[in-house]
Amino acid sequence: MIIDHGHIIGNHTQTHPYQKIPTFKEYKENIAHCQDTINLTVDTVAKFYRPPAGTLSISGLSLARKLGLKTVLWSIEGGEWGIHKGDNASTISHRMQENLQPRDIVLLHDNNIKVPTILDEILPVLQKHNIDLIHGVQFI
């Protein structure tokens, strides 16, 4: 369904390690396992990689590069799982509307109940202001 809606699948590691930085070998297995899962599940090759929690490491960057993946981070975070997790969807939406700029990369998590409401509120505002909405990368 993600691909059918014009999005691209990206690699976000198989187990999303963020409690501790994995060893080089663990990181390699984790990224490679996610690549295999994507390939088998949706018959496509991921071209982008987003490190868990936005944690950049030499291991993660070099492994992603060896697998032909471009590392992507975000420029604006909704915070629905982070620092603003206690805020309601409208508060998060209004904060994002005040801060969004053209070419921003937005981080929202599809497993948070607030996200559909946030998107329902911010997408029409962006369209009204002629900010191009480009289908994004969905990281799994």
Please say which residue of 48, 71, 94 terminates a domain: 71
Residue 39 sits in which domain range? 8-71
DSSP state of 54: G
- The answer to whether 49 and 84 have CB atoms below 8 angstroms apart is no
**pLDDT in tens for each of the 140 residues of the chain?**
778 877 788 999 898 876 777 788 888 899 999 999 999 998 888 999 998 888 888 888 888 999 899 999 988 888 888 888 899 999 999 998 888 887 788 888 888 999 999 999 988 887 787 776 665 555 55
**Is residue 122, in this structure, part of any structural domain at all?**
yes
In a shared domain, residues 65 and 21: yes
Number of domains in the chain: 2
Please say which residue of 71, 100, 126 terminates a domain: 71
In a shared domain, residues 86 and 121: yes
Please give the C-alpha separations between residue 108 and each of 6, 11, 70, 77, 137, in angstroms, as whole numbers: 18, 16, 20, 7, 11
In a shared domain, residues 108 and 125: yes
User: How far is 68 from 52, CA to CA, in rounded Å?
Assistant: 18
